[in-house]
Amino acid sequence: MTKLSNASLPSLAESIARPGYDRAKLTPGIVHIGVGNFHRAHQAVYLDDLFNAGLGHDWALIGAGVREGDAKMRSALAAQDNLSTVIELDPGNNRARVTGSMVGFIEVQADNAALIAAMTNPAIRIVSLTVTEGGYYVDPSKGTFDPTHPDIVADGKNPAKPATAFGAILAALKARRAAGIQPFTVMSCDNLPGNGNVTRDAVVGLAQLSDAALATWVADHVAFPNGMVDRITPATGPRERALARSFGIEDDVAVTCEPFRQWVLEDNFPAGRPPLEKVGVTFTDHVHVYEAMKIRILNGGHAIIAYPGGLMDIDFAHQAMANPLIRAFLAKIENDEIIPHVPPVPDTNLHDYYALIESRFANPEIADTIRRLCLDGSNRQPKFIIPSLRDNLAKGTVPTGLILLSALWCRYCAGVTDSGAEIAQNDPSWDRLTATAKAAKADPKAWLAMADIYGETGRDPKVQASFATALNAIWARGTKAVLTDFIAGKPL
């Protein structure tokens, strides 16, 4: 085994791609908050491609974070000179590469002083984020920023020593304004509808709690481009570390991912940007339609296979896709209730896109876990599923498949599979969801009454009736029997 480091790069197998540029000559232009697997399989790879093309060497990444897990990642990456092993999982042709686009990782501190100082540096022209869908302090029932969240309230009271990523960004923007330094662009790389707008609302909304003039300045002078990102990237565990070792690399935080990747961005970078169009990034004014396509068809599709898979004791996404009932359930909902409500996308056939999604989900090399796909439904359902449900209702159609999916999610949150196996905590609001799911067994309306998730949709009598029928059927006959009847068009 070769422990990954700058010094060990020449000793790696010839088949392993590695930086073809002098990392010592890179200079940072981007601070990225949230250095998880997705970032290292996506943004960091695009930049590595750019640097290998001899372009943009003043746009290297500096990693950052505001959580305990970020400190652990910093330690792991520092031990290997901030290099990352990225393994593309293509059946019969797995490929490994080492990326070198990250040149530093800021110390993780409770008051974020080091992060704020780094973002104040005029060389930093972009601050990017992957802080998960639930990390933007959005009230799901309203779809808007929640200034009453305890984390936000705390930063509003103590803006000089913020604990959140948005508080640190705001403090750095304030320092740059005071020093006469052009503001950096804030670029979200999370799976959120209108992720740039959501990020802007978080930063401006937080500023309004302590400094109205600063809030106005941020709104008027800071760019928050919307973007769509896509690459299936499993969590790292023993299997992923073993895959790295199969290439002769010792890397405890190796990343695995599918071969496919996509990045679509608004070209709104007043302080400049790397020429990412040279390495496959699409710049367009129509990000919202790409975003709707991806979030509803792919992310929504993940939920559709995840919850029945979890209840049927299936471990991996590709195993769920190999189950005829789950695959047919996915196809029926996608074709009948999701795709008809996705706006047209330039040069894209939505049914061809769905066929691509099916093949990506079925890739056995990814070994993406059903548990990961079930994670954090309280944040994901309002973004990935409920908008499609609402669109059907607006057109006068009751989407029984999407409502059945909500019932399967409710049943999953009761905490046991159909076989009686325990489901371990799998949501930040798990205790609340479990209590509500158990109450819903006797009174299905209790689940839909979670207004922060369902809003007005949960009060629709047709939704309530369809949900009650579905949930009662799942409890009475089990997931397999209910899916069989639904796919056959029989009453539940």
CATH number, position 244? 3.40.50.720
**Residue 198: exposure state from Cβ atoms within 10 A (0-12, 13-18, ≥19):** buried
Distance CA 220, CA 92 (A): 51
Residue 142 has a pLDDT of: 76
Residue 443 has a pLDDT of: 98
- Whether residues 249 and 300 share a domain: the answer is no
- Whether residues 45 and 137 share a domain: the answer is yes
- Whether residues 250 and 325 share a domain: the answer is no
Domain end point (choices 285, 320, 344): 285
pLDDT digits (tens, 9 = 90+) for 145-173: 999 999 999 999 999 999 999 999 999 99
- Whether residues 274 and 334 share a domain: the answer is no
Q: Give me the domain span that covers residue 220.
A: 2-285
107 in Cβ contact with 134 (< 8 Å): no
Residue 92 has a pLDDT of: 85
Domain end point (choices 241, 261, 285): 285
Residue 25 has a pLDDT of: 98
Residue 202 has a pLDDT of: 97
Q: Contacts from 170-175 at CB under 8 Å and sequence distance 24+?
A: 170/203, 170/206, 170/207, 170/214, 170/218, 171/112, 171/116, 172/115, 172/116, 172/119, 172/120, 172/127, 173/203, 173/214, 173/218, 173/222, 174/211, 174/214, 175/116, 175/120
- Whether residues 235 and 362 share a domain: the answer is no
What is each CA distance from 298 to 15, 336, 354, 358, in whole angstroms? 32, 15, 8, 9
User: What sign results for the dihedral spanned by CA atoms 156, 162, 168, 171?
Assistant: positive
Residue 435 has a pLDDT of: 98
Residue 139 has a pLDDT of: 84
- Whether residues 395 and 481 share a domain: the answer is yes
CATH code, domain with 481: 1.10.1040.10
Residue 134 has a pLDDT of: 82
Number of compact structural domains in the chain = 2
- Whether residues 250 and 313 share a domain: the answer is no
Domain end point (choices 248, 265, 285): 285
- Whether residues 318 and 259 share a domain: the answer is no
- Whether residues 257 and 320 share a domain: the answer is no
Number of H helices, E strands in the chain: 23, 15
- Whether residues 322 and 381 share a domain: the answer is yes
- Whether residues 238 and 345 share a domain: the answer is no
Terminal Cα distance for the chain, rounded? 56
- Whether residues 61 and 113 share a domain: the answer is yes
3-state SS, 378-400, equals: HHHHHHHCHHHHHHHHHCCCCCH
Starting at the edge strand found earlier in the chain, the sheet holding 185-188 runs 102-105, 60-64, 28-33, 126-129, 185-188
Residues of the chain where predicted confidence (pLDDT) is lower than 50: none
Distance CA 207, CA 213 (A): 8
